[in-house]
Structure 1
């Protein structure tokens, strides 16, 4: 695991490593070139490359399902997915022309855009933040004000700004807590090294529920923990979005491709909303190294971040949520004294034009793009997520 660095340093340092990517899956052999419209794949399909933010897991189930179920092919696209990793910045891969689209958190991508990356948010897939701060219930930590005097874990690398915004809102300064550089797991919390750990609702939180409680010999239960949810706190930031090349959006062919790509991707997420177990199986088949019950949990929890979607439809960028993200990015100061952004992003940073056209296309096909009646499933985790 990397040692701590500031967000801007991490983003700048990773550019050269962006070319080192792994092909997770594709509708044709992995050697197919990405395109802006010049190359046609076998069967007359348009080859498209999507760069993920992280390794293959349920976080990206909708895109994997869109391949598995043939939704991209229905839209004339041959989609190749590139895995992310520790030293891959998806928005950099996109800006360098090594992918046609990328999945990235909004604040991180906006930081890259401020540094010159010509990228645009064209579909906001996650409507809610999945970041949490988790503590053992016996610690009595139910709100950010109670972080005072405690050992608070965070990952850094630009993942920490909701935490710092929450502490600022609660009247706390970074010096009021002991900040601990946390690994991308929950071992420090389980061992008692920290009092509250950063976790994604769909990943690390499940890890504590997959661990054995030494006092009972059984798995830990949700009642053993308290969770601070930044959505409830009012300091949440937008996360997984589909980013496109700003420059290429001037090309009518790329515009049309973008509409079709978004439509097929949203249809994939609608499939995962309605077929959680099947999407778990798709993710496992795609090569995820995480266990089956962990992946089922992950798909189920990611669905909660997407559905129900705004009345306008899945992927729509809510101006109020965007404004809150920008405000936190402009004002929240981390332990290094940095903010994510130094100025407001320009108007081309996001657009609803293409997702609106994609939603209209899906509605004409009878796809439920809102999920107003969505209800999550109840998932039973196994030891270690197996």
Structure 2
């Protein structure tokens, strides 16, 4: 059955390249149910398990939402799909969202869930790296165009290193994991909670990492992105979707193995369950939602991310958090 579902999903994705998949498609049907699409930042991995858990538990159905979850191919492309109304909601990283809005894309965040950024430098434990200074003379794999690559020189500077102290090798997103696993690079730029468990499963070796957030550069991570037309014309649907997503994340955080089971049942081409469990276990502490709901952000955290992007990633005419974030749906933290 999963193979049939994958074929259907592929046909839907093919059609969405030219068709509008935004708030017009999310209009309620005769029975009051709204068909809604969510495009992920990447192919399914453990961070996405709460969406499948919420789908399985009926949290979206309880809000009158018939949810279709689509795989992504990078946050930038997901944000573009939201901007072009090829999908109703996107799950995307915040730094590329800021850059997209800076270029005029009509999108906004309605809540960042991973409030401690997962950006990191990852390496096998036997490399003897424990601090940024240990990267001197090392070869680092990175993907030009992504936020980690753009901010890496600033992160080096913040930790007393020059760009010339390391050698950066350009690799595509999928190629980084293979390059590290095969020993062709000493370290890679990546999301530690996604790639580290994958590499450990592939190599049988322990992966360690230096989080940007722990070494001078904490930027908001992944969250929900919506087109401004949808915010204006279908605010109640946005409110329902955010509410179901907050409940899904809150409940999945306390039921990680069950959330992984839901993803195994409903997702396509997902990692093995043990990898999913590790990935979600690493993601949950990044929520930063102690005493509040997941996705509720503070202006201070948004300002910090905006300032870092302005300083290190050439974000022009940055403006205030309200330019990028509508707090009226997930709330303020």
Q: Structure 1 pair 249/141, CA: closer, same or farther in 2 (3 Å)?
A: same
Q: 1:280 aligns with which of 255, 260, 283?
A: 260
User: Which is greater in Rg?
Assistant: 1
Task: Give the equivalent residue in structure 2 for 1:123.
Answer: 111
Cα distance in 2 between the residues matched to 1:102 and 1:87:
8
Cα distance in 2 between the residues matched to 1:329 and 1:233:
16
Task: Give the equivalent residue in structure 2 for 1:380.
Answer: none
Task: Give the equivalent residue in structure 1 for 2:41.
Answer: 53
- Superposed CA RMSD: 2.8
Are 1:318 and 2:298 counterparts? yes
**Could you tell me whether the CA contact under 8 Å between 1:23 and 1:82 is conserved in 2?**
no
User: Which sections of structure 1, spanning at least 5 residues, go unmatched?
Assistant: 1-19, 25-30, 213-218, 333-338, 360-369, 371-386
Deviation at 1:112, TM superposition (A): 0.9
Are 1:200 and 2:184 counterparts? no
Q: Structure 1 pair 33/92, CA: closer, same or farther in 2 (3 Å)?
A: closer
Task: Give the equivalent residue in structure 2 for 1:245.
Answer: 227
Deviation at 1:137, TM superposition (A): 4.1
Are 1:343 and 2:317 counterparts? yes
**Equivalent position SS for 1:121:** strand
- Ranked by relative contact order (alpha carbons within 8 Å, sequence separation 6 or more), the top structure is 2
Deviation at 1:86, TM superposition (A): 5.5
Cα distance in 2 between the residues matched to 1:281 and 1:23:
25
Q: Structure 1 pair 318/88, CA: closer, same or farther in 2 (3 Å)?
A: closer
User: Which sections of structure 2, spanning at least 5 residues, go unmatched?
Assistant: 1-8, 14-18
In the TM superposition, what whole-angstrom CA distance separates every residue of 1:271-317 from its partner, at most 9, and x where no partner exists? 211211111111112223422211121222222222x5143421112
Are 1:166 and 2:159 counterparts? no
Deviation at 1:163, TM superposition (A): 2.8
Task: Give the equivalent residue in structure 2 for 1:354.
Answer: 329
Q: Which has the higher helix share?
A: 2
Deviation at 1:22, TM superposition (A): 6.7
Provide TM-score, normalisation by structure 2. Answer: 0.84
How many pairs were matched up?
315
Deviation at 1:195, TM superposition (A): 2.0
Provide TM-score, normalisation by structure 1. Answer: 0.74
Task: Give the equivalent residue in structure 2 for 1:189.
Answer: 180
